[in-house]
Amino acid sequence: MNSSEQSKERSNLSVSHRFGVDRTPLYKPGLPIELVAREKGMDPSKIIKLASNENPLGPSPKAVEAVKVALNDLHRYPDGGAWELTHKLAEQSGLSANQFIIGNGSNEILELVAQVFLEPGTNAVMGEYPFVVYPIVTQHFGAEIRKAPMPDLRHDLDEILKLVDEKTRVVFIASPNNPTPHDIPRDEMEVFVQKLPEHVLLCFDGAYQEYLDDPFDPIPSIQNGKSILAVRTFSKIYGLAGNRIGYAYGSEELVALLMRARQPFSVNSLALAGALAALEDVEFVAKCKVLNQQGIAQLKEGFEKLNLEYEAGCANFVLVRVDDTRECCEFLVEKGVIVRSMSPFSLDGWIRVSVGLPAENERLLDSLAEYFQQS
């Protein structure tokens, strides 16, 4: 049986689809506030969402102003090459503008990596608890998913190297990781980059990098010819998750290849305007980082009082062990607090909580206290 016959066999569609697409896991996002409000008959303003690692301070105010101005030009196509944004990023980094690609969220760039580099017969290596999009896009393009053990829920770079072979095209690493919140020390990453074979692309995801004090900087290695694509987002510390914009940088050759697979107008003009202004909103970013550090301290103290096991790093979320995740998440939703069960991510017994405003963190801790009192 060939692959299109196999795909037909498993589907009621009369049209064949690419083999394996129907097996690609479906991405399930955190519950939206409106959905919970509708289903539970609650007032949406009374619900707090701590489920998708969003910015509790909202979007960068400078970005909001820029988006308002950009509304007047909605009849025009966006600048497909993102001239202004790539030049601003180049100016800030010392790289050239041709070394940047802008995406519809960093998710689009992760998908482009898979589209360009992965195919049946190849594999992608990642940690045991990877950002969910890595296995999705790997599977989607027919490559093998190889997961390296993460002892103590941390990346073990030697374990990753053990899984790399001549068929490996991409290694996906996020630091800090998600769903586990830990980052990889800068010196460990520097050694790893030297050891990684030349035929492998390192897709280094820095979605939460701005929350770190001393992150690994991929730029010197890129300048020394290493095959690295550093992926970043405006969804987290810049507060632009709804605008859907991220970016990546690497060698000009690598970026040129990815650009061939990208839709010319995948990033809209409001997103471009917002991101450009957000990059300059240094004050806002600094404020968000401090608020996040305070929030993590508040949550840790609260979990300790409740005698709960937790995992926290510098990123804007923490993991906390509650054992019966389904029961606990349902209880919290009834209290108007949306968090994320980690059971679908092979972390049974844990929930992931995004750091909120102080009053939101307090409400989560009070609701958890109530949950453990009654259970």
Ligand X SMILES: Cc1ncc(COP(=O)(O)O)c(C=O)c1O
- Gap between the Cα atoms of 236 and 243, Å rounded: 11
Interface mask (CB under 6 A) for ligand X, residues 201-220, using x and -?
----x-x-------------
**Least distance to ligand X, CB of residue 49, Å:** 13
Nearest to 316 by CA among 209, 189, 156, 203: 209
Residue 107 interacting with ligand X (CB under 6 A): yes
Give the binding range for ligand X (CB under 6 A) out of 91-99, 105-113, 301-309, 337-345.
Answer: 105-113
Amino acid identity, residue 24?
Answer: T
Quick one: which of 117, 129, 131, 310 contacts ligand X (CB under 6 A)? 131
Number of residues that bind ligand X (CB under 6 A): 13
Indicate the residue among 219 and 241 with the shorter CB distance to ligand X: 241
Indicate the residue among 107 and 341 with the shorter CB distance to ligand X: 107
Quick one: which of 233, 251, 292, 361 contacts ligand X (CB under 6 A)? 233
- Gap between the Cα atoms of 87 and 90, Å rounded: 5
Give the binding range for ligand X (CB under 6 A) out of 61-69, 101-109, 304-312, 335-343.
Answer: 101-109
Window 162 to 191, contacts with ligand X (CB under 6 A): 174, 178
Are the beta carbons of 337 and 361 closer than 8 angstroms? no
E-state strands within 136-282: 144-148, 168-174, 201-205, 228-233, 246-249
Residue 292 interacting with ligand X (CB under 6 A): no
Residue 113 interacting with ligand X (CB under 6 A): no
Indicate the residue among 244 and 335 with the shorter CB distance to ligand X: 244
- Gap between the Cα atoms of 368 and 312, Å rounded: 17
Give the binding range for ligand X (CB under 6 A) out of 57-65, 100-108, 190-198, 298-306.
Answer: 100-108
**Least distance to ligand X, CB of residue 75, Å:** 27
Indicate the residue among 150 and 365 with the shorter CB distance to ligand X: 150
Greatest C-alpha distance within the chain:
61
Neighbours of 271 (CB within 10 A): 27
Quick one: which of 145, 163, 212, 241 contacts ligand X (CB under 6 A)? 241
Indicate the residue among 278 and 365 with the shorter CB distance to ligand X: 278
Are the beta carbons of 343 and 325 closer than 8 angstroms? yes
**Least distance to ligand X, CB of residue 331, Å:** 25
Quick one: which of 31, 48, 50, 53 contacts ligand X (CB under 6 A)? 53
Residue number of the CB atom closest to ligand X: 105
Residue 227 interacting with ligand X (CB under 6 A): no
- Gap between the Cα atoms of 171 and 205, Å rounded: 11
**Least distance to ligand X, CB of residue 194, Å:** 24
Residue 55 interacting with ligand X (CB under 6 A): no
| Residue-by-residue DSSP string for 339-364 | -EE-GGGT-TTEEEEE---HHHHHHH
Q: How far, in Å, are 22, 104, 137, 256 from residue 261 at the CA level? A: 23, 13, 14, 9
Nearest to 334 by CA among 12, 36, 2, 114: 36
Are the beta carbons of 124 and 144 closer than 8 angstroms? yes
Q: Which residues of this chain interact with ligand X, rule CB under 6 A?
A: 53, 105-107, 131, 174, 178, 205, 207, 233, 235, 241, 246
